[in-house]
Amino acid sequence: MGQGIATILSRNAEEITRRTGRHIEVTHAAVRDVAKAQGVVDSHALNVSITDNAASIVSNPDIDIVCEVMGGEQPALDLSLTALAHGKHLVTANKALVAMHGNTLFAAAQKYQVMFGFEPAVAGGIPVIKAIREGLAANRVQSVVGIINGTGNFILTAMSDQGRDFDDVLDEAQALGYAEADPSFDVDGIDAAHKLAILAAIAFGMPLKFDELLIEGIRAIQQEDVVYAKELGYVVKHLGVARRRETEAGPAVELRVHPTLIPQRQLLANVHGVMNAVLVDCDALGQTLYYGPGAGSEPTGSAAVADITDMVRALSGRKDSKPPGSAVGHILPPLGFQTNALIELPVLTADDIETGYYCRITAEDKSGVMASIAGIFARHNISLEAIRQQEPDALNAADESTDTLLPIVLLSHRVREAVMRAAIAEVEALASVPRAVTLLRVETL
């Protein structure tokens, strides 16, 4: 990504200068492999000093803006705090850094009166942070729902379109470079959760609360559930959901990342492969969708250069030669809300989530089983939208002592998760239900 930033600044130098009023020059770069980076610099005829000592860059008095694209929490956090303390404006693409330590970094930026940009940390090159923070500033944001991890979306797209199993598609994603050798951050939902925590803070004017998110990945998604969802008119996507809720105790938010059924007619259902998309619902404007590449050297570099451009515009507007911090009065706070106006919205627990549900129940093919299951849902006041009995599983059908198993698929209307979980526990306790129930959430958007 560092190469993408340098390439864009070099290739589009004239256009960017017309926008900012100043020439932007990349003078230093800290890398792990100096020889490799020097080869890139030489091939592009760039006048950049290469070093493996990042500390020397963040304290260099001749540098105005620092871009952090190394990833991870450390040493990125210490280097970023040092850069801010030395009066450097900071741009980061590090979603983990912002999600886990953003509150600390924002406070440091305010203390040292410098600018802090993180557009490339969420959804790659899609300018969704600017859209919510600035373009939608007149609105009260009700919800932000997004496909914000390209690897997970690639896997689920292939499972749906090609009828393949999770493990098979994951192997391909790793071979193509979409997934790391250890794909945990992507397939277990951590990467998407980092991004959702950032989007929620910007949308609702609240501190970052990554530690309170509900996070579920896609490892457990079965091909049969993808097929059943399609038969019912739905697609399985890995969604991040941030939704404002009014409760008896006052305003609160749902913050959750998990596999979700969404209707095939929805635009989000038609986001395929490694692409990202974010759907924002506001009171004045209504729904808007932001779609594009969620990763890649130049797409993400585009977002970083956009932040750099904003900073240079602010610096160009100064009427004196005071330190860079004098520009702080000309820019927005990092989250778009005044720092002293952020509100501590409580995050609802999993029990208090309200959504629809997809249930796949594997039951013995006997008289009265369906009535027993329906009765349990009725006692819990769970309204069902659809009930479908699939063809018998016939697992171990060659064994005459084994009863034929029948998959039963149910779709519920919106209900509190605690109520649904209680009903499922009763269903699983039935002697005629020998397997755990598969439960997925449903969002009609």
Domains in the chain (CATH in brackets) are 2-126+296-341 (3.40.50.720), 128-294+345-350 (3.30.360.10), 353-442 (3.30.70.260)
pLDDT for res 393: 56
User: Which one from 95, 130, 195, 237 is the annotated catalytic residue?
Assistant: 195
> What per-residue confidence (pLDDT) applies to 315?
85
pLDDT score of 16 more than 60: yes
Return the pLDDT at 180. Answer: 83
Q: What is the pLDDT of residue 402?
A: 53
Residue 195 bears catalytic tag: yes
Q: Quote the pTM value.
A: 0.92
Q: Is the pLDDT of residue 325 over 50?
A: no
Instruction: Tell me the H-state helices in 293-416.
Output: 297-316, 369-379
Of 167-176, 314-323, 329-338, where does mean pLDDT reach its minimum?
314-323
Q: Cβ contacts of residue 425 below 8 Å, gap of 6+?
A: none
- CB-CB contact of 389 with 369 (8 Å): no
For range 263-278, the mean pLDDT = 95
Q: Is the pLDDT of residue 328 over 60?
A: no
- Residues of the chain with pLDDT > 70, as a percent, come to 93
For the segment 331-337, the average pLDDT, to the nearest whole number, is 86
Rounded Cα distance between 347 and 339, Å, is: 20
Angle at 415 between CA 414 and CA 420, to 5 degrees: 130
Q: Would the pLDDT of 322 be above 70?
A: no
Is the per-residue pLDDT at 262 higher than 70? yes
Nearest to 129 by CA among 343, 356, 310: 310
- Whether residue 421 has pLDDT greater than 60: yes
Give tens-digit pLDDT for 145-184. Answer: 999 999 999 999 999 999 999 999 999 999 988 888 889 9
- The distance in angstroms from the start CA to the end CA of the chain is 34
Specify whether the CB–CB gap between 266 and 225 falls below 8 A: no
The pLDDT score that the predictor gives to residue 394 is: 47
